[in-house]
Structure 1
Amino acid sequence: MSPAKRLRTRMAETGLVHIMAAHSPLSAILAEQAGFDGLWASGFELSALYGLADMSLISMTQHLDMLRAIAGRTTLPIVADIDTGYGNAINVIHAIDEYARAGASAVVIEDKSFPKVTSLVAGGRQELVRVEEFQGKIEAAIATRQDPDFIVIARTEALIAGLGEAEALHRAQAYAEAGADMILIHSKRKDPSEIVSFSRAWTGSVPLVIVPNAYPDLDAARVKELGNIRMMIYGNYGIRACATAMQEVFRQILADGGVQNVHKDILPVEEIFRLQKMHEVKEAEVRFLR
């Protein structure tokens, strides 16, 4: 069974899948060992890893390199964040081919103009393309995919752009009619009221995806009660956790003038060896080095 088929099967079996953002093979390994259903190949996290703003500064080649590296170290399905599709519908055709070959089981394409600005930044430029133009991108993605289980998720930023629920519903319906398998509805409100209201108003034929970064109180139990949300993506928690830990440890080392205190609070190097599968290397050395 392909990873894309496994992702669809998992959604059908559980009603809701949990997808953790990753920006490296190590973060993917940790997410898989934690028990997540899939990975979010995050543009935001990769941008942050490079110390850059999430506004289309990272190239498709850089993102694909990350995706290939992750796919080589995990068995989990990967949902790729491809922003606006790197251009128009012709660019989307190229992107779908490349991401499928790199190991993606799904892509998320958003209806912003290129270059995009990250959704949650205060005062960010949030410009959306015409509905018809974005329908063309979705149709191009559907026509290009070779595996019918490959999932094309259309993301509308209408709520992010302040255009209201009616516009969000209109766009979501249009994208579903263009062939999208799922609709990602995004909000930057600090409470889940916009998402809950949209979910209750949604009568479309395809299920919803959410990214509960701004409204963390909306947990899985409440999401399942809404009935039509099938995927939760935890979009930036991996990179934030890494940055939190490194800030604390780095400051402590300088404050203490050494590692005598932080040494006992971080993972032992043996745990890193385990994640690197060092035991397999040692076994190969015994077997093959002569």
Structure 2
Amino acid sequence: MTTTAAPATAPFRFFDVHVVRTERRSPSVVRITFGGERLAEMASGGRDQRFKLFLPQPHQSRPVFDDTGEGWYAAWRVQDPAERAVMRTYTIREQRHDPEEFDVDFVLHGADAAGHAPASGPASSWAAAARTGDRLSVLAPTVEDNGGVDFRPPSGTDWILLTGDGTALPAVAGILAWLTPGTHAQVFLEIDHEDDRRYLPSFADADITWIVRDHAGAPGGEAVVDALRTATLPTGTPYAWIAGEAGSVKAQRRHLVQERGFDRRAVKFTGYWRRGATEEDLIAELTAAAAAADQD
């Protein structure tokens, strides 16, 4: 099995990009391909490679920044919320060269072609209505081994556990494509609709369980927890990667550590979103917590 250690650096830089094309992949997902003049300098580490995407406000044709240097975050925080770019975190599904392009899969959360849906956020609404030539900015890595890759199974891992909902599906697909022959992977994926199933190529021996939310009859994430509780998992030393709704992720980690006996260090868990909260809410909470820690 291929294993990787944490990187020593996490170099990221801003890139101006534009929409090259859009493709509806399923009822819930649209794939958007981006291009840009400097994308040859961008380097994805594959797997669950994350990056920051910045959308313009509805009255703008491109995102507006006061600073894109090392002090970008502080400058972004104090910008007028009605003018500053909308920041979201996404996964690079695939990067290609000649031409320089990369793909991002957006979960639409019910947004229609005009970008309207009561439950959709600004990124889903933007993606549903995206057209060729639309411009935005991304903060993306410039080296392959970077801090935006979390899937790093340690040496001695015997098998892989992956779980996620629709928001984690691009990362799961990237991980499965990266795994080497002879690796065993147990995968649990929750999707909104039957037609959201897709072929996930992998050299690994991957056992994939699809959980369709409209069949499960439970709020998002609970069906994955239930599936884990009743699953027969392989023996040996596991490495678990869990992503999706924050409440579900915490419940899954608790089950694996407390009931299954997984080593805490062998469970990588990430809340991609939290029910009832926007990314701005989560950023504000993290900023307040960091400020409180500095005072202490």
TM-score (norm 1): 0.30
- In terms of fraction of residues, the more helix-rich structure is 1
Is the radius of gyration larger for structure 1 or structure 2? 1
The structure with the greater share of residues assigned to strand is: 2
**TM norm structure 2:** 0.30
